[in-house]
Structure 1
Amino acid sequence: MGDVKILVVEDEAVTGMDIRRSLTELGYSVCAIATTGELAVRKAGELHPDLILMDIMLAGKMTGIEAAEIIKQQYHIPVVYLTAYSDDSFLTKAKLTEPFGYILKPFRELELKTTIEMALYKYAMEHALRISEETTRVLLNATEDYLFLIDTNGRFLAANLALARKTGKNVQEFIGTNVSDLVEQGFLSPHMAVWNVNVTQKTPIHFEEEFKTVWFETSIYPVVNLEGQVVLFAVSIRDVTRNKTIEEQSRQNEEFFRSLIEETSDIIAILNRDGTLRHESPSMTKTLGYAPEQIVEKPLSDIIPEEDVPVFNRILGEIIDNPGIVKPVRMRIRDRAGLAHIMEGIISNLYGNPVIDGIVLNGWIRTE
């Protein structure tokens, strides 16, 4: 408690000294005693106390209530009223400043200590909550995804800037309105607006949907209260049109590439980094006599004569270390009957290629 600085605001000198003595005996540090509201505001800005004990009726033009309101707005320092006034008119005005306590004079030291400790604890919790809320706000607005929170009746409790920009609204304009408005205005589909989702649904829902020629990925997260009831839905909507376009282009490219290798008479093999065979052209199995299941997902070195394996591994290592490189290759390879053949061709590193993404071996075989 010795680290807790308290500013006392009291216009009676004797009373102020008594309060300082009581606080010191309780283990607190009194950083100053202000006798007017104006001085209290100035000292709050200069000293930044942890808490202010504020009398309501003070010398000068400014009351303690007026000083407390200014201090709350400018410095966010918790205020506890310590006053002899208890009638309803004072209490009503004092409550508007949201004080952290109200102690009537004459006070008992135990009451003073308890009120101060509760005020400090409440202020710490509110401060932590404000930081948490600000962190949440920053995270919500750090993405171009549409994020919002609605209750089970579809009323908005929160929304991020991305959704606000999409709809041409201010974030605060969403609060209290219904998500069905965005469906009617054509900004969201009914599925995105959580229509037809059972309020007993407690597991997240994920789906993709094409809406007005744009593909969206929507995730709906039910929020459950302590009684196990779904009370809110957190919704995330992401534009995945570009991903869909890339996927479709990759699929078409892959089909085109597959049709090419199936028609070619050359041997084409796609290898993983460890030298295992991921995919082979029909001409390879036809020439060597292996069924696909006998060589696919197995090391290519299994069908290379043992004395040639070190050469193959050296070439593979060079290719892996140099993306985009193309090297000529000449090595022996065995067919299913064990007969060795010479394979000549090229090997290249096409990792990163959206279609192939592997090591490509392209060659032809002649009998040794």
Structure 2
Amino acid sequence: MSDAKILIVEDEAVTGMDIRRSLTEMGYSVCGIAMTGEQAVRKAGEMHPDLILMDIMLAGKMNGVEAAGIIKREFRIPVVYLTAYSDDSILTKAKVTEPFGYILKPFREMELRTTIEMALYKHAMEHAIRISEEITRVLLDATGDMLFLIDPNGMFLAVNKAFATYAGKQVCEFAGTNVSDLVGKGILSSRMAAWYMNPTTKTPSHFEDEIRGSWFETSVYPITNQEGEVILYAISITDVTGNKRSAELSRQNEEFLRSFLEETSDIIAILNSDGTIRNESPSIARTLGYDSEVLVGRPIFDLVAGEEVPALKRVLADSMGSPGIVRPVRMHMKSTDGSIRPMHGIISNLYGNPVIDGIILNGWLKSGPGTTKLPDGPENRG
């Protein structure tokens, strides 16, 4: 740290020059000498030194302790007091500014060098910790998940914005509060507050809980010290109410579709965009003789008379470009016994429909003979 810039604050010119000489001989760079507290604050803002050697008793209206307090608050520059005064009242006032060292005059150069090096190192470590804490805070607030940290007694140590918003509070309001307050108000369940965690358990716990009609997925992570004792709990909570409702709606839609397909006598097939069968009605198996398990995943074109496949592919392609448009079709379906049966029906692109979400083919088999090709109508032209 020999290239560190140091600002000297000393109201006695001779003493200030002596300190400058000592620092220069030790390899430090002295960026200036201030003789009053006001000058110290101004020069600190202009020069941004790495460290300030501050005399406590200064000429002018502002003493060294007052100047150090302003410098700490506005510039975060480490201050080492260098003074001839050692009574308790002065020390008490100086402690409030959290100095990085306190040296009594007259000083030895080795003592001065050691104090400066320790102050610079401590300041560098504190800066690194602040950066780490800021990165952690940004990362915590970047997620929509609710995160908080409590000790084994339930006292809040940290929360992110998402959790504070959910609890209806500001982040700063959690200091000195206990998680039991939120449990009592029904904002958290007792499990979400880690009340059922065995203090000797070091493995995470994962579960779902319902609170006031909403569902939450929670993970509780015990944090241990070097002795293996649980000293903290990190808790992550995700609101999965929307997923639960979507899953329930999907289940209801699937049940409705399955019931509809099983009860209808029509030929119904739900197709993917490439024409493969995703779902089908049992009537296909009954009327054409196909096994339902064999049909799923099979192209619909395998069931259509060969010369009509190109026209059917064009109709499917047109349907993909026209969501919701119903297109009439006529084709001949192949039975497993080798017979060909004419079918009239419709095709429509129902992607996005909560029940179908695909292309639906709905047809009616005719009992009599029919044409052997798709008609040359606008719905079947390429």
> Structure 2-normalised TM-score?
0.79
Q: Partner of 1:125 in structure 2?
A: 125
Q: Is the 1:84–1:106 contact (alpha carbons within 8 Å) kept by the matching residues of 2? A: no
Mark the runs of 5 or more structure 2 residues left unpaired by the alignment. 373-382
Q: How does 1:260-339 map to 2 (within 5 A)?
A: 260-304=260-304, 308-339=308-339
Q: Does 1:192 align with 2:174?
A: no
Q: Is the 1:330–1:345 contact (alpha carbons within 8 Å) kept by the matching residues of 2? A: yes
Amino acid at match of 2:222: P
Higher mean C-alpha deviation, range 79-88 or range 352-361: 79-88
Q: Distance in 1 between matches of 2:114 and 2:313?
A: 77
Find the structure with the greater CA-based Rg: 2
- Residue 68 (structure 1) shift: 0.8
Q: Distance in 1 between matches of 2:323 and 2:20?
A: 76
What's the secondary structure of 1:94's corresponding residue?
Answer: helix
Q: Partner of 1:250 in structure 2?
A: 250
Q: Partner of 2:376 in structure 1?
A: none
Amino acid at match of 1:261: L
What do residues 207-254 of structure 1 show as CA deviations (whole Å, max 9, x unaligned)? Answer: 333333343333323333344443222223444444433433333233
Q: Is the 2:187–2:211 contact (alpha carbons within 8 Å) kept by the matching residues of 1? A: no
What do residues 309-329 of structure 1 show as CA deviations (whole Å, max 9, x unaligned)? Answer: 554444444444554454444
What do residues 174-210 of structure 1 show as CA deviations (whole Å, max 9, x unaligned)? Answer: 4344323333343333222222222344343333333
Q: How does 1:100-111 map to 2 (within 5 A)?
A: 100-104=100-104, 105-108=106-109
Identify if the C-alpha distance between structure 1 residues 252 and 5 changes in structure 2 by more than 3 Å, giving closer, same or farther: same
Q: Partner of 1:96 in structure 2?
A: 96
Amino acid at match of 1:213: G
- Residue 39 (structure 1) shift: 1.0
Q: Distance in 2 between matches of 1:112 and 1:330?
A: 99
What do residues 269-328 of structure 1 show as CA deviations (whole Å, max 9, x unaligned)? Answer: 222344332211111222221212212123334445566555444444444455445444
Q: Is the 2:186–2:211 contact (alpha carbons within 8 Å) kept by the matching residues of 1? A: no
Identify if the C-alpha distance between structure 1 residues 32 and 215 changes in structure 2 by more than 3 Å, giving closer, same or farther: same
Q: Distance in 2 between matches of 1:77 and 1:199?
A: 43
Q: Does 1:75 align with 2:92?
A: no
Amino acid at match of 2:62: M
Q: Is the 1:350–1:358 contact (alpha carbons within 8 Å) kept by the matching residues of 2? A: yes
Q: Partner of 1:355 in structure 2?
A: 355
Q: Distance in 2 between matches of 1:329 and 1:117?
A: 88
Q: Is the 1:343–1:364 contact (alpha carbons within 8 Å) kept by the matching residues of 2? A: yes
Indicate the RMSD between aligned Cα atoms, in angstroms: 3.5
Q: Distance in 2 between matches of 1:12 and 1:163?
A: 55
What do residues 89-145 of structure 1 show as CA deviations (whole Å, max 9, x unaligned)? Answer: 55444333212233455343x665554444334323323433443454456566776
Q: Is the 1:54–1:79 contact (alpha carbons within 8 Å) kept by the matching residues of 2? A: yes
> Structure 1-normalised TM-score?
0.81
Q: Partner of 1:54 in structure 2?
A: 54
Q: Distance in 2 between matches of 1:26 and 1:364?
A: 100
Q: Partner of 2:148 in structure 1?
A: 148
Q: Distance in 1 between matches of 2:212 and 2:309?
A: 57
What's the secondary structure of 1:222's corresponding residue?
Answer: strand
Identify if the C-alpha distance between structure 1 residues 307 and 86 changes in structure 2 by more than 3 Å, giving closer, same or farther: farther
Q: Distance in 1 between matches of 2:156 and 2:303?
A: 65
- Residue 265 (structure 1) shift: 2.0
Amino acid at match of 1:94: A
Identify if the C-alpha distance between structure 1 residues 295 and 69 changes in structure 2 by more than 3 Å, giving closer, same or farther: same
- Residue 156 (structure 1) shift: 2.4
Q: Partner of 2:14 in structure 1?
A: 14
Q: Distance in 1 between matches of 2:258 and 2:250?
A: 12
Q: Is the 2:305–2:331 contact (alpha carbons within 8 Å) kept by the matching residues of 1? A: no
Q: Partner of 2:178 in structure 1?
A: 178
- Residue 29 (structure 1) shift: 4.1
Q: Size of the alignment, in residue pairs?
A: 367
Q: Distance in 2 between matches of 1:124 and 1:326?
A: 71
Identify if the C-alpha distance between structure 1 residues 325 and 13 changes in structure 2 by more than 3 Å, giving closer, same or farther: farther
Q: What is the aligned-residue identity percentage?
A: 68
Q: Partner of 2:216 in structure 1?
A: 216
What do residues 146-195 of structure 1 show as CA deviations (whole Å, max 9, x unaligned)? Answer: 54322223222234556556666664554344323333343333222222
Amino acid at match of 1:106: F
What's the secondary structure of 2:133's corresponding residue?
Answer: helix
Q: Is the 1:152–1:232 contact (alpha carbons within 8 Å) kept by the matching residues of 2? A: yes
